Chain A
Amino acid sequence: MPEFRPRTVYVTYIAAAPEKVWQALTSSEFTRKYFWDRDIEIEPRLGGAFALKLPDGKVNVRGKVIAWDPPRKLSVTWQVEWPEDFRKLPECVVTYELAKAGEAVRLTMTESHSWNVPEAILSGGRMGWPAILSGLKSLLETGKVPAIQMEPPREMIEAIRKL
């Protein structure tokens, strides 16, 4: 595997047990609520298949499990398959790390890339992750995910078209 370097890191602290946060990261019952309606399919083992699917069944992201250590570390390769333009992007790696922090859990999301990815392309994830993980925190702490209105990541879409 090529070398993947962290380019975007987001940290949030959630008042919940690590097992609960792990469950929210890996089961559709939760992802549907905070990850923009996506279902997650993940084989719970190293080398297992991973996918995020849209409500119509279309595959949004596909990858492989490269670290599986519940409830501490999950790492997957991440190839965007839809929208179609995004297939041009080389796969990246998304890693979630969970650690106890007093009565809360520190959740660290790291997006790592194997190429010199332009800032414009990184801007998509930098818009999306704070919204997704803010939703996850609200879901676990209040039982609800308030709607977050977001613009499409125009800068990223433009940059991908130019690749």
Chain B
Amino acid sequence: MTDAAKNSSFVYVTYIRTTPQKLWQALIEPEFTRQFWAATTQDCDWKVGSSWKLMIPDGRVGDAGEVLEIDPPQRLVLSWRNEFRPELRAEGFSRLTYLLEPQGEMVKLTVTHEMPHPGSQFIEKVSGGWPIILSSLKSLLETGESLEATRRWPEGV
């Protein structure tokens, strides 16, 4: 756990019946993310220092940052700033870490999203979004079908 007085953070753990390689692929490749992540895709060449963008289906940039660390299929760290809501963009860059650990026939996926200041509205927003996205990712890899509610970008957002 991080120091709540200095940081805002969200941690989510899920166990998915798959391999680390398949989970890694699902986290970065557009044919997967479109299904479980509200029809978004990522624009990135997945090297340290590369720019990273989360693209909304209508062509807007949802979030942007860069690849800070990449070690497939175990660990990916991104800097991450919201780009389409001015009040969230003003908070600056957060840090997102995906950690993939094989555990028997499952992979333990830990998603940590941190902002270096307390009371972050951005972290509050993503805390509401990650559980459904990551639940849908688990459904997609285990059943072949993502959750219906995550297959489209929400109207009016």
Using a CB–CB distance below 8 Å, which chain A residues touch chain B? 11-15, 101-104, 106, 119, 130-131, 134-135, 137-138, 141-142, 146-150
Contact = CB atoms under 8 A, between A and B. Distances in A.
A150 B63 CA distance: 35
Contacts of A12: 14, 131, 135
A138 B141 CA distance: 11
Given A15-B139, A15-B147, 17 more contacts: A12-B14, A12-B131, A12-B135, A13-B131, A13-B132, A15-B145, A103-B147, A130-B15, A131-B13, A134-B15, A137-B138, A138-B17, A141-B142, A141-B143, A146-B15, A146-B106, A148-B103
B133 to A, nearest CB: 9
Given A119-B1, A130-B15, A137-B138, A13 B106 contact: no
Nearest to B136: A13
B149 A101 contact: yes
Given A131-B15, A138-B17, A148 B147 contact: no
A141 B139 contact: yes
Q: Is the interface of A mostly helix, strand, loop or mixed?
A: mixed
B105 interface: yes
A130 B11 CA distance: 11
Contacts of B59: none
Report the contact-size class of chain B (Cβ under 8 Å from the partner): 20 to 34
A149 B135 contact: no
A129 B99 CA distance: 18
A49 B132 CA distance: 33
Nearest to A119: B1
Interface in B62-81: none
Interface in B101-157: 103-106, 131-132, 135-136, 138-139, 142-143, 145, 147-149
A148 B139 contact: no
B110 to A, nearest CB: 9
Contacts of A146: 15, 17, 104-106
27 contacts: A11-B131, A12-B14, A12-B135, A13-B135, A13-B136, A101-B149, A102-B149, A103-B147, A104-B135, A106-B131, A119-B1, A130-B12, A130-B13, A130-B14, A134-B14, A134-B16, A134-B138, A137-B138, A138-B17, A141-B142, A142-B143, A146-B17, A146-B105, A148-B104, A148-B106, A149-B103, A149-B104
